[in-house]
Amino acid sequence: MTSVAEAFARAKAENRAALVAYLPAGYPSVVGAIAAVHAMIDNGVDAVEIGMPYSDPVMDGPTIQAAAEASLAAGTDVPALIETVRQTSGRGAAILVMSYWNPILRHGVERFAREFAAAGGSAVITPDLTPEEAGDWEAATDAHGVGRVFLVAPSSTDQRLATVTSHCNAFVYAASTMGVTGARNQVSDAAQKLVARTREVTDLPIAVGLGVSNADQAAELATFADGVIVGSAFVRLLLDSPDETSGAAAVGRLTAELAEGVRRR
């Protein structure tokens, strides 16, 4: 198993940013999602966020929502998510999960952390869980060696940045724009300011997400962030592909382009 710490350390040793990719579990199918993650790993990704599809995804834009809805309709559940982690860990990239809090709570907080760790997972991103309400989650993740990732945003005050980052132990997720996820033509200039402010209160790696869709944007973010997170651009490829095989191939090609981008600096 590759841990998040190892993934970021490897990238730092190579004087580059880490490439972090996102795909929802169960889309286009459980097997298809696993194949797409394998294609990412084979083409240079450092870490993969496997998303737990959710019926009320307040942070997700229309692209990820469309895939999540199809995944849920096909019956994707937490056991399918855990199996996806199991089938993708141990291949040279850190495997993460991004999940809204309700699916974890319903499955059982301790049970989720235990099963995720046993499957080879490294860290979990919980976008709608605040540190103030994360006592049970912190206890469970500490008990099972699971990393925690919380989010900061351009609107976060300096005090809020200090509070949120003090509860992270894997990396800090810096949302570069206000609003929901989605590929954009330009990366917000707020990202660099947010990273600089966050660095003042933590020594953890800082990864920037929301809006990256091509190698040039990845290269731009790699000049100041420790990690570059790409999601909607990958999901769009799967949505637009005629079959799972071509979808995985397209994901692999984009991964290779983005991997070149984070190394360009």
Q: Supply 109's token pair.
A: 């907080």
Rounded to 5 degrees, φ, ψ at 51 are: -85, 140
Rounded to 5 degrees, φ, ψ at 242 are: -75, -20
| Cβ–Cβ < 8 Å for 153, 175 | yes
Residue 210's identity, in one-letter code, is L
Distance between CA atoms of 146 and 262, rounded to whole angstroms? 26
Give catalytic residues, as residue numbers: 49, 60
